[in-house]
């Protein structure tokens, strides 16, 4: 087995460490984000969100606010243009929150009820804060708990069935020598990218132009065309630089409200969300209540795996945090059951948040595996190795590649796992109890359709045009490396143009599918270009361009289980006097396909692992039952790991090219968070002898 530390996987540009092409622009302030771009005649919109958790808007006192300095308009449900919400996008049916100001219903606290537009942002904000909205309030219910009587099994979605089973779980559990039956909870968690959601809209002739912060301009342009009943060619969305997305930057009220106001006022309008608004209007991760039952023979081989998850959604839209699905990939058993159920409450609709499903699901499943290892008296890694499936446990399909055992071996070697005393609660250093833990990780590897154009320029350089989104991941740089590798030229000679829906359909940066989807389209266009260049002849002034469209190619991809995998290791110290848990070091070894750029891939994996520290120890949005809103919805009230909480975190990988991908890519965006919280929780048990099944592992819970 080989790892790639310091050595490229392949000759050529692919696999070489490159700093971000736009890195200098970003650190010198030359890179402009959506909210920074000056425009003549720009007006500023400020969203007003509901202050009640359920009811109807009775009236909006518009007149006093219209008399305030600089105020141009107040849009609300009685005067806003009507929009179309009857469509289906790549992400399914739209969340009704996108249909801003269409009716008087308030389904949760933080629902957009008005947009105040003014000449200057300060004027808009002042007027928005002065705007009086009268509500007819109704009783609300925001309380999520395990075994909620209103929980139901959602219908099968494009993301898969809500429930799958084989064999007789109860019979196999009864026949098992060792049984684990544990309940785990994870709280409501929020992604809150540093750059807030921001959009500027204006009309240029008959075309709606939108400057936006998003994870995919094709997705946003397509949906805006639907919402405003426009021809797709009449909407152009650009998002040159994006300061983080993490699943939250799809179509949001920002783009719709800005486009609405630009239409009404016939001038450019910018809408930027505040940090507080982002806590209710951009989606978040549902809390989960999970029960895992594992039954094993004396030798640790599973007879039964039962993983039941419950999550919440809003009353207006269904989003499922598919936590139980992780078991369908990780472990087989003669009896196997996985299910996700959901309850509707008067809360905002949750959405994709880094490692959607797998992040909370792996916490429960991988902690349960640690509990089983303890009961069986088998090392946690050995137990997992004994339960490695040859094929998809439920699908029966072969894996495209599954190098998880290589991750365990390399991780164990580098972490020093062999010397571990399995006994919990026996290592002490002053007032600290010490422990180590591990967990496995997986995240599905998908691909979406993209088009690309690659041009050989007359001056010997190359230009790649693809509507990719660089949300901070280094997408531009990865695309340059893929193109340079195929063209067999220095990456310095490749220019990359992205983030403009006018470039043609491109996959969004989500589901760990961005780099793989774009690289596929670029690789095909590059191959075609090389064939044409091989014919010889001069390059005309406009260059020679080859184009690709992968929508047919990826549809014919053979049916397989395709996932990135990983092994997470953590060492913690637990303060017996304060209950504080400190992570001392983490190591993640991943099998995540061919690594295009070790520098930025490591960023993704380490970033995910740090988020795992946050998830394990800090993150928890607290909802106030009485008001239905959050307590402290800002970056002070919502705790997450700061630099002082983050010790040495190392991520590396084993050789694992996807055999069916033209570049060998699988995806590294999300697998880094998966299993990270479980590794830490398992280390806390090893330190203290106490199982912590409810996140976050706060000091008051430890004591
Ligand atoms: Mo990812 S949570 O699909 O951006």
Residue-wise pLDDT for 355-385, tens only, equals: 999 999 999 999 999 999 999 999 999 999 9
Closest atom, ligand 1, to C-alpha of 247: 4
User: Which residues face 567 on adjacent strands?
Assistant: 440, 589
| CB-based contact 388:302 (threshold 8 Å) | no
What whole-number distance in Å separates Cα of residue 456 and Cα of residue 460?
A: 7
* Helix (H) or strand (E) segment spanning residue 340: strand 335-344
134 pLDDT more than 80: yes
Closest atom, ligand 1, to C-alpha of 246: 4
What is the tens place of the pLDDT at every residue in 318-359? Answer: 999 999 999 999 999 999 999 999 999 999 999 999 999 999
Closest atom, ligand 1, to C-alpha of 245: 4
Top-confidence residue, 399 or 557? 399
Q: To test ligand 1's pocket by mutation, which of 445, 669, 671 has the most ligand atoms within 8 angstroms of CB?
A: 669
Of the chain, the percentage scoring pLDDT greater than 90 comes to: 96
The answer to whether residue 491 sits within a structural domain is yes
245 close to ligand 1 (CB < 6 Angstrom): yes
Cα–ligand 1 centroid distance for 461 (angstroms): 34
Nearest one of 429, 293, 374, 407 to 686, comparing CA atoms: 374
The answer to whether residue 211 sits within a structural domain is no
What is the tens place of the pLDDT at every residue in 212-225? Answer: 999 999 999 999 99
The answer to whether residue 510 sits within a structural domain is yes
Structure tokens at 156: 């099968």
What is the tens place of the pLDDT at every residue in 407-457? Answer: 999 999 999 999 999 999 999 999 999 999 999 999 999 999 999 999 999
The answer to whether residue 497 sits within a structural domain is yes
Cα–ligand 1 centroid distance for 364 (angstroms): 20
Can you give the pLDDT at residue 156?
83
563 pLDDT more than 70: yes
pLDDT confidence bin for 554, thresholds 50/70/90: confident
Decide: residue 483, CB within 10 A, 0-12 exposed, 13-18 middle, 19+ buried. buried
Residue minimizing CA distance to atom 4 of ligand 1: 247
Is 188 catalytic? The answer is no
283 close to ligand 1 (CB < 6 Angstrom): no
Q: Coil, strand, or helix at residue 323? A: helix
| Antiparallel, parallel or unpaired: β 71-76 and 43-49 | unpaired
What is the tens place of the pLDDT at every residue in 587-598? Answer: 999 999 999 999
**266 CB contacts (<8 Å, ≥6 apart)?**
203
Q: Coil, strand, or helix at residue 403? A: coil
465 close to ligand 1 (CB < 6 Angstrom): no
DSSP 44: E
Can you give the pLDDT at residue 4?
37
Q: To test ligand 1's pocket by mutation, which of 220, 510, 515 has the most ligand atoms within 8 angstroms of CB?
A: 510
Closest atom, ligand 1, to C-alpha of 471: 4
444 close to ligand 1 (CB < 6 Angstrom): no
What is the tens place of the pLDDT at every residue in 518-542? Answer: 999 999 999 999 999 999 889 999 9
Of the chain, the percentage scoring pLDDT greater than 70 comes to: 98
pLDDT confidence bin for 1, thresholds 50/70/90: very low
Cα–ligand 1 centroid distance for 685 (angstroms): 30
Can you give the pLDDT at residue 133?
98
Q: Return the percent helix, strand and coil in the chain, to nearest 5.
A: 30, 25, 45
Q: Coil, strand, or helix at residue 563? A: strand
Look at the chain and report how many structural domains it folds into: 1
Nearest one of 429, 448, 588 to 510, comparing CA atoms: 448
Q: Coil, strand, or helix at residue 219? A: helix
The answer to whether residue 551 sits within a structural domain is yes
pLDDT confidence bin for 492, thresholds 50/70/90: very high
Can you give the pLDDT at residue 158?
76
Cα–ligand 1 centroid distance for 247 (angstroms): 4
Structure tokens at 675: 């299993």
| CB-based contact 175:295 (threshold 8 Å) | yes
pLDDT confidence bin for 603, thresholds 50/70/90: very high
What whole-number distance in Å separates Cα of residue 521 and Cα of residue 543?
A: 19
Q: Coil, strand, or helix at residue 337? A: strand
Mean pLDDT of 593-608: 98
510 close to ligand 1 (CB < 6 Angstrom): yes
The answer to whether residue 464 sits within a structural domain is yes
The answer to whether residue 548 sits within a structural domain is yes
Cα–ligand 1 centroid distance for 356 (angstroms): 7
195, 223, 358, 670: the catalytic one is 670
pLDDT confidence bin for 398, thresholds 50/70/90: very high
Which residues constitute the domain of residue 489? 23-31+448-556
Closest atom, ligand 1, to C-alpha of 352: 2
Can you give the pLDDT at residue 12?
87
- Domain CATH for 471: 3.30.365.10
Mean pLDDT of 391-397: 97
Cα–ligand 1 centroid distance for 634 (angstroms): 21
What whole-number distance in Å separates Cα of residue 388 and Cα of residue 401?
A: 13
Cα–ligand 1 centroid distance for 34 (angstroms): 20
The residue ranges of DSSP E strands in 9-149, in sequence order, are 43-49, 55-61, 71-76, 105-106, 112-118, 132-137
356 close to ligand 1 (CB < 6 Angstrom): yes
The answer to whether residue 515 sits within a structural domain is yes
State the chain's mean pLDDT as an integer. 96
The residue ranges of DSSP E strands in 359-486, in sequence order, are 428-429, 432-444, 451-456, 462-465
What is the tens place of the pLDDT at every residue in 260-290? Answer: 999 999 999 999 999 999 999 999 999 999 9
247 close to ligand 1 (CB < 6 Angstrom): yes
């Amino acid at each position: 087995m080989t790892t790639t530390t310091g050595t490229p996987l392949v000759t050529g540009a692919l696999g070489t460490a490159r700093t971000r092409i736009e890195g200098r622009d970003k650190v010198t302030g030359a890179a402009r984000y959506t909210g920074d771009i000056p425009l003549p005649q720009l007006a500023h919109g400020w969203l007003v969100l509901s202050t009640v958790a359920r009811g109807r808007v009775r009236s909006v006192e518009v007149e006093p606010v219209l008399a305030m300095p600089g105020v141009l308009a107040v849009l609300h449900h009685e005067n806003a243009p009507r929009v179309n919400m009857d469509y289906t996008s790549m992400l399914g049916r739209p969340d009704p929150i996108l249909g801003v100001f269409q009716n008087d219903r308030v389904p949760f606290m933080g629902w957009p009820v008005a947009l105040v537009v003014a000449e200057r942002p300060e004027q808009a904000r002042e007027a928005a804060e002065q705007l009086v909205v009268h509500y007819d309030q109704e009783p609300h219910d925001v309380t999520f708990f395990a075994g909620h009587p209103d929980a139901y099994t959602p219908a099968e979605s494009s993301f898969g069935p809500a429930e799958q089973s084989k064999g007789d779980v109860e019979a196999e559990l009864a026949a098992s020598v060792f049984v684990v039956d544990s309940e785990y909870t994870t709280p409501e968690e929020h992604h809150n990218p540093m750059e807030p959601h921001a959009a500027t809209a204006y009309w240029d002739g008959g075309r709606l132009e939108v400057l936006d912060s998003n994870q995919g301009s094709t997705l946003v342009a397509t949906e805006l065309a639907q919402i405003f009943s426009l021809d797709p060619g009449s909407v152009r969305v650009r998002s040159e630089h994006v300061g983080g997305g993490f699943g939250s930057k799809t179509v949001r009220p920002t783009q719709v409200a800005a486009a609405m106001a630009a239409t009404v006022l016939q001038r450019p309008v910018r809408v930027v969300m505040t940090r507080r608004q982002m806590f209710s209007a951009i989606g978040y991760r549902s809390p989960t209540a999970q029960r895992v039952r594992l039954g094993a023979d004396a030798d640790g081989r599973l007879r039964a795996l039962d993983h039941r998850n419950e999550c919440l959604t809003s009353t207006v839209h269904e989003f499922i945090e598919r936590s139980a699905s992780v078991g369908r990939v990780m472990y087989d058993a003669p009896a196997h059951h996985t299910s996700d159920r959901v309850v509707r409450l008067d809360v905002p609709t949750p959405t994709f948040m880094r490692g959607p499903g797998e992040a909370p699901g792996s916490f429960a499943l991988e902690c349960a595996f640690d509990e089983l290892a303890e009961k069986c008296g088998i090392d946690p890694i050995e137990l997992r190795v004994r339960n490695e499936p040859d094929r998809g446990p439920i699908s029966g399909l072969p894996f495209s590649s599954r190098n998880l055992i290589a991750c365990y071996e390399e991780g164990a070697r580098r972490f020093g796992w062999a010397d571990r005393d399995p006994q919990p609660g026996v290592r002490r250093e002053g007032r600290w109890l010490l422990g180590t833990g591990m967990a496995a990780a997986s995240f599905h590897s998908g691909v979406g359709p993209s088009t690309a154009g690659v041009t050989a320029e007359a001056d010997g350089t190359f230009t790649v045009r693809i509507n990719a989104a660089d949300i901070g991941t280094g997408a531009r740089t990865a695309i340059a490396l893929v193109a340079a590798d195929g063209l067999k030229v220095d990456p310095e000679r490749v220019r990359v143009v992205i983030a403009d829906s006018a470039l043609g359909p491109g996959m969004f940066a989500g589901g760990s599918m961005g780099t793989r989807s774009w690289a596929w389209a670029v690789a095909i266009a590059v191959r075609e270009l090389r064939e044409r260049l091989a014919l010889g002849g001069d390059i005309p002034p406009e260059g020679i361009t080859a184009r690709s469209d992968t929508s047919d190619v990826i549809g014919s991809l053979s049916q397989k289980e395709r996932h990135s995998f990983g092994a997470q290791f953590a060492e913690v110290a637990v303060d017996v006097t304060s209950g504080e848990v400190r992570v001392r070091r983490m190591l993640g070894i991943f099998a995540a396909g061919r690594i295009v750029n070790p520098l930025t891939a490591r960023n993704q994996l380490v970033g995910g692992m740090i988020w795992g520290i946050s998830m394990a120890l800090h993150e928890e949005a607290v909802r106030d039952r009485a008001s239905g809103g959050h307590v402290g919805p800002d970056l002070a009230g919502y705790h997450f790991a700061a630099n002082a909480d983050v010790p040495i975190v190392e991520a590396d990988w084993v050789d694992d090219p996807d055999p069916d991908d033209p570049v060998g890519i699988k995806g590294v965006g999300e697998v880094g968070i998966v299993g990270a919280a479980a590794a830490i929780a398992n280390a806390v048990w090893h330190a203290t002898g106490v199982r912590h099944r409810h996140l976050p592992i706060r000091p008051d819970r430890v004591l």
